């Protein structure tokens, strides 16, 4: 197997059983890398040796830390969904079911690595320490962004599907010019990760990003969370072949991983990041997972997918899998779990209070930051708006 061929992991019967609803025989019916079975047992096949080495340093406390990350991400998701139902958010896009893909890959990042997310990467936002309330400013309609990207090395959420894959690639080309790739200094060498979904792989921008990354050997990891649904369209509407094979056509090493296996996601991301930082170029990761929730709070999955499928994946909850592993390895700690539960409760309460307190900005703020330097049209309209508003104040004063 050469570096530029798509990687074919050994088929693990446990990971893609023949009864997997709506998958058998389609592009999602392909082998994938797994380090922990859905039942919580470690996979010990020889093909997984190299990947197991990459998670060998994660001791019981570290595994519990990953569980905590996932539980807090889930709670954030549930609270945000509730807040939308109560009318406190205009919209919300759930990450539910994709916690292992996000926490596993996110925890493999070095502090200096830069992330270009789509809009469902709440697990990444958690890992990078973005204030939970700030993450919901966009969904409440008080901000188009919400945080300082350079403070967290996480770009703002991008809503135009796949556009940010090019930004990630350009950023990575900048890193190359800055001499931050392949120096051998672990604190200096930097990589970029961009997250997108199965639907985005059909976008021209994602494909152009793969072209630009490949010919420039750019240090970027294309992390595709194949959650099987692009709103209402299944993966079969996007592809005839497993998505990870897309990378091979561009000369980009590719791997398909069980996206509900947090350790496998950590391992493949660590490998891809190392390749990028050392000057080995881009990697395409397909993390096969499931969108347990709706596309957004405006969506109705009962119109297009079966209850049987949802129930199948409910039984493959990535958080349950990690708990099963912890229990199997005698690493489960009731006191720790209770602390995390209390932490999640506190997070929920904080969100309920703080999100409601997020006030609408002043109307006149719409004229701010349209340009970095004065623009006469914006200035004229802004002045008119101020006068218009003032006229009401004067009328009221009369």
Binding-site member from 3, 53, 131, 148 for other proteins (CB under 8 A): 148
Q: How many alpha carbons fall within 13 Å on the CB side of residue 210?
A: 26
226: its two tokens: 């194949």
Binding-site member from 369, 392, 394, 397 for other proteins (CB under 8 A): 369
The reply to whether 117 sits near other proteins by the rule CB under 8 A is no
What is the distance between the alpha carbons of residues 91 and 78, in angstroms, rounded to a whole number?
Answer: 13
Binding-site member from 304, 371, 384, 388 for other proteins (CB under 8 A): 371
Residue 170 Cβ vs other proteins, minimum distance, rounded to whole Å: 2
Residue 208 Cβ vs other proteins, minimum distance, rounded to whole Å: 3
Binding-site member from 360, 377, 396, 397 for other proteins (CB under 8 A): 377
The reply to whether 373 sits near other proteins by the rule CB under 8 A is yes
391: its two tokens: 């006229």
The reply to whether 166 sits near other proteins by the rule CB under 8 A is yes
Interacting span for other proteins (CB under 8 A) from 120-128, 157-165, 307-315, 350-358:
157-165
Question: By C-beta, is 167 or 305 nearer to other proteins?
Answer: 167
What is the distance between the alpha carbons of residues 215 and 351, in angstroms, rounded to a whole number?
Answer: 44
The reply to whether 193 sits near other proteins by the rule CB under 8 A is no
Interacting span for other proteins (CB under 8 A) from 120-128, 164-172, 311-319, 388-396:
164-172
What is the distance between the alpha carbons of residues 368 and 307, in angstroms, rounded to a whole number?
Answer: 47
The reply to whether 156 sits near other proteins by the rule CB under 8 A is yes
**Structural contact between residues 269 and 21, judged by C-beta atoms closer than 8 angstroms:** no
Question: By C-beta, is 2 or 150 nearer to other proteins?
Answer: 150
260: its two tokens: 């509900």
Secondary structure (DSSP) of 279-295: T---EEEEEE----S-S
Burial of 246 (0-12, 13-18, 19+ CB in 10 A): buried
Binding-site residue total for other proteins (CB under 8 A)? 41
Q: Which strands sit side by side in the sheet containing 283-288, from one edge to the other? A: 114-116, 192-197, 220-226, 283-288, 254-258
Residue 142 Cβ vs other proteins, minimum distance, rounded to whole Å: 11
Binding-site member from 55, 109, 168, 268 for other proteins (CB under 8 A): 168
Which residues on neighbouring strands pair with residue 33, listed in sequence order?
A: 257
The reply to whether 384 sits near other proteins by the rule CB under 8 A is no
**Structural contact between residues 43 and 36, judged by C-beta atoms closer than 8 angstroms:** yes
Please count the other Cβ atoms lying within 10 Å of the Cβ belonging to residue 37: 18
Cβ burial 142-151 (10 Å sphere, 16+ → b, else e): beeebbeeee
Question: Which residue in 39, 5, 22 sits closest to 13, CA to CA?
Answer: 39
Biggest CA–CA distance in the chain, Å, is 84
Interacting span for other proteins (CB under 8 A) from 291-299, 343-351, 366-374, 388-396:
366-374
Residue 114 Cβ vs other proteins, minimum distance, rounded to whole Å: 8
Binding-site member from 6, 108, 115, 165 for other proteins (CB under 8 A): 165
Question: By C-beta, is 219 or 234 nearer to other proteins?
Answer: 219
CB neighbour list of residue 284: distance below 8 Å, 6 or more residues apart: 210, 222, 224, 244, 246, 247, 250, 252, 253, 254, 255
Residue 186 Cβ vs other proteins, minimum distance, rounded to whole Å: 20
Residue 137 Cβ vs other proteins, minimum distance, rounded to whole Å: 10
The reply to whether 175 sits near other proteins by the rule CB under 8 A is yes
Residue 329 Cβ vs other proteins, minimum distance, rounded to whole Å: 42
Q: From residue 368, how far is each of 49, 136, 373, 378 by CA, in Å?
A: 54, 21, 11, 9
Question: By C-beta, is 87 or 204 nearer to other proteins?
Answer: 204
Interface map 199-228 toward other proteins (x if CB under 8 A): -----xx--xx-xx--x-------------
Q: How far apart are the first and last CA of the chain?
A: 82
The reply to whether 174 sits near other proteins by the rule CB under 8 A is yes
The reply to whether 171 sits near other proteins by the rule CB under 8 A is yes
Binding-site member from 3, 5, 131, 178 for other proteins (CB under 8 A): 178
Give catalytic residue positions: 291, 295, 304
Interface residues toward other proteins, by CB under 8 A? 143-145, 148-150, 155-156, 158, 160, 163, 165-175, 177-178, 204-205, 208-209, 211-212, 215, 368-373, 375-378
């Amino acid at each position: 197997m050469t570096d530029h061929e798509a990687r074919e992991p050994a088929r693990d019967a446990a990971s893609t059983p023949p009864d997997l609803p709506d998958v058998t025989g389609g592009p999602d019916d392909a082998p994938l890398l797994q380090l922990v079975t859905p039942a919580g047992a470690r996979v010990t096949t020889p093909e997984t040796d190299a990947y197991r080495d990459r998670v060998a340093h994660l001791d019981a406390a570290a595994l519990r830390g990953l569980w905590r990350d996932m539980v807090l991400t889930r709670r954030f998701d549930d609270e945000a969904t509730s807040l939308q139902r109560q009318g406190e958010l205009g919209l919300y896009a759930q990450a539910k079911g994709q916690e292992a893909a996000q926490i596993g890959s996110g925890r493999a990042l070095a502090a200096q690595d830069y992330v270009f997310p789509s809009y469902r990467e709440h697990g990444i936002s958690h890992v990078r320490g973005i204030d939970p309330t700030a993450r919901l400013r966009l969904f409440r309609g008080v901000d188009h962004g919400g945080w300082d990207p350079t403070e967290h090395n996480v770009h703002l959420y991008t809503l135009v599907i796949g556009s940010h894959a090019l930004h990630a690639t350009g950023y990575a080309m900048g890193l190359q010019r800055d001499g931050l790739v392949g120096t051998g200094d672990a604190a200096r060498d930097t990589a970029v990760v961009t997250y997108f979904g199965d639907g985005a792989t059909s976008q021209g921008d994602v494909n152009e990003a793969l072209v630009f990354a490949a010919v420039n050997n750019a240090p970027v990891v294309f992390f595709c969370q194949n959650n099987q649904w692009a709103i209402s369209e299944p993966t079969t509407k996007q592809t005839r072949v497993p998505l990870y094979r897309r990378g091979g056509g561009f000369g980009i090493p590719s791997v398909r991983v069980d996206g509900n296996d947090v350790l496998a996601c950590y391992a493949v991301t660590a490998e891809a990041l190392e390749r990028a930082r050392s000057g080995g170029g881009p990697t395409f990761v397909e993390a096969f997972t499931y969108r347990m929730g709706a596309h957004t709070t405006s969506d109705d999955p009962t119109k297009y997918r079966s209850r049987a499928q949802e129930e199948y994946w409910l039984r493959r909850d990535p958080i349950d899998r990690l708990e099963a592993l912890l229990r199997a390895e005698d690493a489960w700690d009731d006191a720790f779990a209770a602390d995390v539960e209390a932490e999640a409760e506190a997070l929920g309460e904080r969100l309920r209070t703080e999100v409601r307190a997020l006030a609408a900005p002043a109307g006149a703020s719409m004229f701010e930051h349209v340009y970095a330097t004065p623009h006469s049209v914006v200035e004229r309209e802004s002045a008119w708006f101020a006068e218009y508003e003032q006229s009401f104040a004067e009328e009221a004063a009369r």
